[in-house]
Amino acid sequence: MKHTISKLTIKNFRSCINAEFKFSAYTPLVGYNNAGKSNILSALQWLLKKSTLSEKDFNDQKLPVEVIAEVTGLAAELLDKMPSNQKTALEKFIVNETLIIRRLQDSPTTKATDIKLTVWDEAISDWSKNPTGLDNAISSILPDPIRIGAMENAAEDASKARANTTIGKLLAEFLNPVKSAHKEELDKHLSEVQQRISADGDCRFSELSSIDDSVNKKIDDLFPGMSIKLHFDIPSFDDLIKAGTIKVYEGKNVARDFSSYGHGAQRSIQIALIQYLAEIKRVNASNITTTTLLLIDEPELYLHPFAIEQVREALLALSKSGYQVIISTHSAQMVTSEQSQFTLLIRKDECNGTYARKRLSDAIQNIVPDSIHQMEQLFSLSHSTQVLFAEYVILAEGKTERRLLPFLFKKITGRTMGQEKYALIAQTGVNDTKKSMEILQAMSIPSKAIADLDYGLTGAIKHGFIDANDIDVIEIKNIFKLLSDQGKITLNGNGVPKNGIVDASKAYELISNESSAIPHIKALHVKMKEKGIWLWESGAIEAHIGITNKDEKSWAKFKKDIASNGLQQTCSDYKSIIDLIEWLRN
C-alpha cells in the first residue's frame, strides 16, 4: 500500500511562476545554486502545513499563490482503514485512486482563516470549497511534512526540539514504542508529583501551604473573602516528548551544546536520526497507512563520501516504508542509476522562472517505443549519472575518447570538462547515438557525439543523418572497392570494410591516406558536424593522437610523452584535436 504526491503544480510562488513537477517515492532535485530547488520543497511544505505567506513569497503580488497536488494510489484498501468520517470526507472526490488538492492564498494580506485546502470535484468540474472534515482527512493520509534545511538552523533546531521542528517530529516518529511501554508508569509518577504541587493536590508540600497562608492573610486585609493557592501544571507524556532535546557527549561524558560542534557533526547527528528512523520503519512497514513527506535540502552536506552513500540508502529505505522522500542535491552519489530516471533537472530562466526538464524516464518512453530497447537505453544513459549534473553532454563510444578526452580538454583549454559543465557519457554502442541524442534533446540537454569514420558509412545512413546515395559516400565506397581489388582490404556485401586481409579499423585508416578519398572524407566530416556528430577523418582517435593500442599502458605512455614533449609534438595530428575541442565548446 503506497500513496504519493505524483504531480505538483506551483503558481506564483517565489521563483515558480507556473511549473509542473512529477514525483516518485524517492525524487532527487538536481540543479545549480539559485535554480529554485528549495522553493519547490517549501511549496510542498506549505500545501500540507498551512501558514500565511508574506510579500516575498509572491512572484507577482497582483496574483494569487496556488499549489496543486495529485495524490495517487488511494486504493479502497487504504480508505477502509480510515475512520468512517474521514473516509466519507474523501472517497467521493477520489477518481481512479487519485485525489487532487489545492491550497491558495489570494494576496499577502489574506487572513490565515481564509487560506484553506480545497479539493477537485469531478462531478461539478470545479474546486469544492471547504468540504466537511477535509483537512483532518488529508492529514490522516498526508501528515505534516518533515523538513530538514541545509543546516542554516540546525543548531537551534536540534537544541530546542518542539512539535514543529525537525528533531521534534523525528522524536515523535520513533518514540511511540517508549510511549506504549511506559506511559502508564510515567503517568503514575506525574500524578504523584501533581498531588504535591498542584492547587488541589491531596498531599501538597507543607511549604507551599505555608506560603499560601501567609499571602492570604495579606489578601484578606485588602479583599476579604478571597484567597489564592500556588499551582504548578504538570506536563503530560506528550508534552515531555515535545520538549525533548539533544545533548551531545564526547570524551568523559561531558555534555556539550549541539551548537558548539561543527556543521559536519551537526549534520551527522541529524542524519543518524534519519537512519534510525529508516530502520524502525522498515520493521513496521506493513502497518503503515500514511505517507509522510520527508523534504531535505542537500542531505550530503558536510558528509564524508562513504557517509553520503549510507544516507542515500537510508532515505531509499524510508521511501519504501511510509515516506515520500524529496531531496535537493549537488551530489551524484545521492542518485544511483536506478533513481536517475526519476530525477528532476531543475532550471530557472527569466521567462519561465523555476521549471523542470523532462525526466529521463519520460523522454525514453517518448523516443524509444519498444520496451526492451527502452530498458537498454535507460541502462546506458542512467549509469552515467553525471548527465543529470551537466549543461552539455558529449557522447562517446570509444574507450580511448573516454579515457583521454578529459585530459586533452584540460591541456588545451586549461579548464576541466566539469568546470565548463560538460558530461562525457559512455555509449554501449555507436548505434545508440541517434536515440541518445533524441532523448537528451527531449530533456532539453544539448549534446554532441564523437564517432569513428565507419559510422558515417553505416549507422549514419541507417539513422537518417546521411543519404545512402550521398555523392561522398558513393565515392568513398568506390575507393574502398579499388583497395579491395588490389587485395589490400576485405569488403562486406554493403561495400564497406570487414575483418579479413586487415582489420576493418585498419582499412579505414588506409583510405584516409588515399589522396583521392581525402576530399570526400572531409566533406562527410563537415556534413556530420552539422548533425552534431564528429567523425574521425583518419578512422579513429588513435590515428590522430599517434597510439596503436587501446589499453592502459598505451594511454599512460601517451600522457607521459605529453608531459615530456608537449601535446603538439606528441600528437600525430595535433590540429584535429584542437579542432575537436573548439567544436565541442561552440
Q: Is residue 466 part of a domain?
A: yes
Q: Are residues 510 and 405 in the same domain?
A: yes
Of the candidate ranges 50-54, 76-80, 178-182, 332-336, the one whose mean pLDDT is the lowest: 178-182
DSSP 95: B
Local confidence band at 382 (pLDDT 50, 70, 90 cut-offs):
low
- pLDDT at position 270: 76
What's the pLDDT tens digit per position in 243-297? 767 788 887 778 877 677 777 777 777 778 777 777 776 666 555 678 989 999 9
Q: Is residue 182 part of a domain?
A: no
Which cell numbers hold the place of 353? 522562472
H-state helical runs in 349-470: 360-367, 371-382, 399-413, 433-442, 459-462
Higher pLDDT, 436 or 157: 436
> Domain containing 68 — which CATH number?
3.40.50.300
Which cell numbers hold the place of 534? 564528429
Local confidence band at 429 (pLDDT 50, 70, 90 cut-offs):
confident
Three-state SS sequence of 538-572: CCCHHHHHCCCCCCHHHHHHHHHHHHHHCHHHHCC
3-state helix, strand, coil in the chain (%, to 5): 50, 20, 35
Q: Is residue 214 part of a domain?
A: no
pLDDT greater than 60 at residue 6: yes
- pLDDT at position 284: 61
Please state, as a whole number, how many other Cβ atoms lie within 10 Å of the Cβ of residue 46.
21
Residue 272's Cβ-count burial label (10 Å; 0-12, 13-18, 19+) is: middle
Of the residues 303, 328, 354, which one is the last residue of a structural domain? Answer: 354
- pLDDT at position 283: 62
- pLDDT at position 541: 96
d(CA 5, CA 70): 6
Higher pLDDT, 469 or 427: 469
d(CA 110, CA 54): 9
- pLDDT at position 105: 97
Q: List the one residue out of 62, 60, 11, 64 whose CA is nearest residue 40.
A: 11
d(CA 336, CA 359): 15
pLDDT average, residue stretch 55-68? 97
What's the pLDDT tens digit per position in 185-194? 888 888 999 9
Supply the DSSP string of 175-204, one letter for each residue.
Answer: -HHHHHHHHHHHHHHHHHHHHHHSTT-TT-
Three-state SS sequence of 268-290: HHHHHHHHHHHHHHHHCHHHCCC
Higher pLDDT, 371 or 280: 280
Which cell numbers hold the place of 201? 493536590
Q: Are residues 345 and 385 in the same domain?
A: no
- pLDDT at position 176: 72
Please state, as a whole number, how many other Cβ atoms lie within 10 Å of the Cβ of residue 409.
24
DSSP 58: B
Which cell numbers hold the place of 336? 544511483
d(CA 219, CA 211): 12
Measured between alpha carbons, how far apart are the two ends of the chain, in Å? Answer: 50
Which cell numbers hold the place of 68? 496543486
Q: Is residue 274 part of a domain?
A: no
What's the pLDDT tens digit per position in 97-120? 999 999 999 999 999 999 989 999
Which cell numbers hold the place of 265? 557533526
Q: List the one residue out of 532, 402, 511 whose CA is nearest residue 453.
A: 511
- Grid look-up 499560601 returns 212
d(CA 270, CA 335): 20
Q: Are residues 341 and 483 in the same domain?
A: no
Higher pLDDT, 382 or 61: 61
Label residue 127 left, alpha or beta by phi (over 0 means left) and psi (-120 to 50 means alpha).
beta
Beta bridge partners, 543, equal none
d(CA 379, CA 428): 9
Whole-number mean pLDDT of the chain? 88
Q: Are residues 420 and 477 in the same domain?
A: yes
| Cα atoms found within 13 Å of the Cα of residue 446, Cβ hemisphere only | 8
pLDDT average, residue stretch 369-389? 68
- pLDDT at position 459: 94
pLDDT average, residue stretch 328-344? 89
Higher pLDDT, 49 or 239: 49
Cβ neighbours for 460, distance < 8 A, ≥ 6 positions apart: 451, 466, 528, 531, 533
pLDDT greater than 60 at residue 365: yes
Q: Residue 584: what residue type?
A: L
Q: Are residues 333 and 413 in the same domain?
A: no
Beta carbons of 59 and 14 less than 8 angstroms apart: yes
What's the pLDDT tens digit per position in 400-423? 999 999 999 999 999 999 999 999
d(CA 586, CA 581): 9
- pLDDT at position 376: 64
Which residue range is the domain that position 119 belongs to? Answer: 4-155+285-354
Which cell numbers hold the place of 499? 575483418
Q: Are residues 345 and 418 in the same domain?
A: no
d(CA 529, CA 566): 28
Which cell numbers hold the place of 574? 595535433
Local confidence band at 437 (pLDDT 50, 70, 90 cut-offs):
very high
Q: Are residues 409 and 325 in the same domain?
A: no
Local confidence band at 473 (pLDDT 50, 70, 90 cut-offs):
very high
Of the candidate ranges 179-183, 273-277, 336-340, the one whose mean pLDDT is the lowest: 273-277
What's the pLDDT tens digit per position in 507-541? 999 999 999 999 999 999 999 999 999 999 999 99
What size, in residues, is the chain? 586
Q: Are residues 312 and 460 in the same domain?
A: no
Q: Are residues 326 and 379 in the same domain?
A: no
What's the pLDDT tens digit per position in 194-249? 999 999 898 999 999 999 999 999 898 888 889 999 999 888 877 776 676 778 88
d(CA 167, CA 558): 55
- Annotate 452-472 with b (16+ C-beta within 10 A) or e (fewer): bbbbbbbbbbebebbeeebeb
Cβ neighbours for 99, distance < 8 A, ≥ 6 positions apart: 70, 71, 74, 90, 93, 119, 120
Of the residues 327, 354, 381, which one is the last residue of a structural domain? Answer: 354
- pLDDT at position 339: 87
pTM, to two decimals: 0.82
Beta carbons of 74 and 140 less than 8 angstroms apart: no
Q: Is residue 363 part of a domain?
A: no
Local confidence band at 168 (pLDDT 50, 70, 90 cut-offs):
low
| CA-angle at 493, arms to 492 and 497, nearest 5° | 25
Of the candidate ranges 133-137, 438-442, 507-511, 539-543, the one whose mean pLDDT is the lowest: 133-137
- pLDDT at position 1: 47
Of the residues 328, 354, 380, which one is the last residue of a structural domain? Answer: 354
Please state, as a whole number, how many other Cβ atoms lie within 10 Å of the Cβ of residue 482.
14
Q: Are residues 315 and 407 in the same domain?
A: no
**Count of the separate structural domains present in the chain:** 2
- pLDDT at position 136: 87
d(CA 324, CA 45): 13
Beta carbons of 400 and 541 less than 8 angstroms apart: yes
Local confidence band at 470 (pLDDT 50, 70, 90 cut-offs):
very high
Of the candidate ranges 60-69, 76-85, 90-99, 127-136, the one whose mean pLDDT is the lowest: 127-136
Q: Is residue 516 part of a domain?
A: yes
Q: Are residues 349 and 434 in the same domain?
A: no
- pLDDT at position 378: 59
Which cell numbers hold the place of 556? 599512460
**Helix H or strand E segment including 472:** helix 471-485
Q: Are residues 344 and 381 in the same domain?
A: no
CA of 297: how far to CAs of 58, 227, 300, in Å? 21, 56, 9
